[in-house]
Structure formats: structure tokens, C-alpha cells
Amino acid sequence: MAYRDLQEFVKRLDAAGELVRIKEPVSPRLEITEITDRVSKRYGPALLFENVRGFKMSVLTNAFGSYKRMAMALEVPNLNALGEEVMDFIEAEAPDTIIKKLRLIPKLRRMDSAMPKLVKKARCQEVVYKGEDVDLGLLPVLHCWPEDGGPFITLPVVFTRHPETGIRNAGMYRMQIFDKNTTGMHWHAHKGGAQHYRVAERLRKRLPVAVAIGPDPAMTYAATAPLPEDIDEVIFAGFLRNEPVELVKCLTIDLEVPAYSQIVLEGYVEPGERRMEGPFGDHTGYYSLADLYPVFHVTCMTHRKDAIYPATIVGRPPQEDCYMAKATERLFLPLIKKTMPEVIDMNLPIEGIFHNLVFISIDKRYPGHAKKVMHAIWGLGQMMFSKIICVFDKEVDVQDVSHCLWRLGNNVDPRRDTVFVDGPVDALDHASPLPHYGSKMGIDCTKKWPEEGFMRKWPDIIEMDRDVKTRIDRLWPKLGLDRRG
């Protein structure tokens, strides 16, 4: 059964020993961040702060902050199972026999369950503030790091519709609190919400915006997933949940939001209006610089009577967002392999903060194959932001970073094996000479072939004789070495 709401997820975490309730009074200014950061660095539990100084709502952090909790959030045994489910669904064969027709029935049911369901009443609208009564200061929004420009909503699901096509987008974009009823809207140029806003500006129209804070875990994750343009994140969340996402109409604008959200903000963004937003201590581990971004005007705020305020802390990894990114890596790997069957595995190391470093293993089939894969990856949606791509032979375990670095150091001739290209880079890349545009590097770490101009003998890797290893395996328990230290 899918989680109905965040409260059910919290109960499940608690029952599994994955949650610690903090009853000491703490401040949302810096203190919750410091506690959460220390826990994240120790690979610790989710935290529910039940005594937030000056506020009635509890604050939940680090809820997705481990492989186990991320799998629990999406209700899969492990993150690899996520990609397997997607591939099983999209590889449905044409039902030319009765057996295939029977096998197709569960997939059709699952697709039907992905469609959202509209309801008339919702708990997220139990408490309502409109107009001058709106006060974002009632929410325990975190001021995360000392040099941040202010408090930031860090886990919002932002809903918009394309002004011409009506297609819905749900994305996650940080929101700096400016005052009681306005925030920044940190729309990067490459994101779906930013495209909707560009169209609205061209049409000189106000863009309605709704923000759901704390829907069910699958909907929160779906808002972060780099889906193809115009794929509805609400339907994707329904697929992940295997149950429809229940939506309710907003009270003041023509948008729908998840009915079991904790908090909902309704309002609009004006064409042409910008305000300086930031700095913000970001997932890069550095402060992203202040810049001009659109302004979100809140005209209505609603919430549950028992609302929990969920937040995420970003900064130098490991942090909670790293595990959300690993879920995306595992989810989309089968789709990448469908496009490029030579790909064996992929690892975006946590230290590479999603896009700075990509390790890929391939079944190398022809000269220059590694370079072909690099360029193909740069052409795949948000994989275009991959700053450094390292391509290895199929026998390399790309999940073993130590093994990869050993191969990279041994197999690469820098002049021959390094490729540089120019193109779009992530908006948070502070090293590029220009905002949003810079260089990327590919490194061919595969064994080189004579057809690639390598005429020397490629050396063999040192390996112990198999019979000797088997004999020592049998002898090992008698040596007493596992008891030492």
C-alpha cells in the first residue's frame, strides 16, 4: 500500500528504527542545520524536531538520507529494483497469444493506477489564510547556513501549467523567503518551470503557481526526477506508488495540488519581475552566488491542523539529496541502456554531486567506442551537465571508486584519451567562465586497441593462480587471521 501522507511515512520510519525524535528546543536558524549535517556525515537517521523554538509545527529532516530510507520512501526492496520495474513496464510485448494478454493485464492496471484522482475535500486545506492574513513567518522555514540570504524553503513541489498547452509541470526549486507573502522562485534556465515562465513572459501573462510542501514521499521524489519534457510528474508519482495521487483544486487559482500535502502556497509570478535572491549554501558544498530571479507572490496559504514541515539540508556531501540522486541514477540506467545497449553500468559518485563526475562501463565493440558514449551521454537530458565522464571496460566495477581511480591512473594517456567539449553547464557551476556555459571533459579509460593507434603490447593485470586461491580459501579459517585486530 502506498503512503497516504507524510505522517504514514514518519510512522514507518519510526517503527523501523530509522527516526530519532528531538525533544530539546532548537532554533530553525542554523541549529537544525548543524544537527542534521552532523547526523548526515555519520550516515545517521531521519530527524523529527518536535520542539522548534517559536513554532507549533515539527520539522522533519534527513527523511531520505540513506539508501534504506530512499528505498522505503519508494516502497522497493532496493534502488536497483526501481529501474527493473520501469523496464518491465516499458518492455511490454504486443499480446499475440493468450499468455501474453494475461501478462499484460497487471501492466494495464498499473498504468490506470498512475492516473491522478481529483477529490473535493482535502486535509491540506483545513487551515486557510488568504490575502493580508497570509504570513510565511508562521512556518518554521530554515535559515540553513550563516551566509544564506535568508530562510529558504528547501523541499517544495512547485506546480505550474504551460500557458499555451496546459501541460502540468511539478519541479523542486528552492524558495527564499523575502517577507510575509513573497519568495524567490529559483528557476534555472533548463528547468520545466522556467520554460513555462518564459512562455508567460512572452505572452505578457501572469503565471499561476502552487507550491505543495510535504506531499507523500513518491510525489516529493518525482518532482526531483529529470523526466523528459512534458511528462507529467504526478502520473510518474502514481506509477511509483502504484496508486493514484489524489489532487484537490486550489482555493484561489486554477491549479491542483496533492490533497495530502502538509502545506500549500497559492499565488502567481509576474512577467518581467525579478529580485536579488541568494546567496545559498548549496549541494555543491559552496555558496551559490546571489542573482536575479522571479518573485512568487503568495495570495493563499493552507495547511493541515497537524502539519509537519519537511526540509532538506544541502551542502558538502554526503547529504540527503545524494540518495535522492542515486535513486534517479538507478531508475534511469535501464532507460539509458535501452538507448545504448553497450552500457553495462553507471555510477555518479556522491562526491561528484550528481553531475561533476560520471563513471560508465561499456562493452567496447569498435575503435573510438568510448568517445561515442561520452557524446551520447552529453546528449541525454540533464546528463548534458556531466562535467567529467570516465568510460571503462565492461569488467570494471564502476561502483568501486577505488578500482576506477586505479584504472584511470594506469590506462589513460592524457593527450590521446582526453576529450574536451563546450556546451551548457549547471547553473550552480561556479568554475565555468560564463554562467550556464562552459567546458566538459571525457576520459577514455578503456584498454586501447591497435585500431586506435596503440601498437605496443597491453600488459596483463596481476592475478593469482585460481588453484592457489582455492587452496588458500580452504586453509584460511585455520590461519586465525580474521580474529586479529
Domains in the chain with CATH codes = 6-310 (2.30.110.10), 340-452 (3.40.1670.10)
Contact call for residues 214 and 87 (beta carbons, < 8 A): no
* pLDDT value at residue 384: 94
> Is the model more confident about 114 or about 73?
73
* pLDDT value at residue 97: 57
pLDDT over threshold 80, residue 104:
no
Among 102, 14, 93, which residue's Cα sits nearest to residue 58?
14
Contact call for residues 443 and 390 (beta carbons, < 8 A): yes
pLDDT over threshold 70, residue 475:
yes
What's this model's pTM, rounded to 2 decimal places?
0.91
* pLDDT value at residue 417: 97
* pLDDT value at residue 44: 97
Q: Which residues are the active-site residues? A: 282
* pLDDT value at residue 317: 94
Q: What is the mean pLDDT of residues 417-434?
A: 93
Q: How confident is the model at residue 216 (pLDDT cuts 50, 70, 90)?
A: very high
* pLDDT value at residue 90: 58
Strand partners, 390: 359, 443
Reported as a single tens digit per residue, the pLDDT across 18-65 is 999 999 999 999 999 999 999 999 999 999 999 999 999 999 999 999
Backbone phi, psi, residue 423, to 5°: 175, -170
In sequence order, the 6+-apart residues with CB closer than 8 A to the CB of 152 are: 141, 142, 143, 144, 174, 175, 176, 177, 280
Contact call for residues 275 and 178 (beta carbons, < 8 A): yes
pLDDT over threshold 90, residue 89:
no
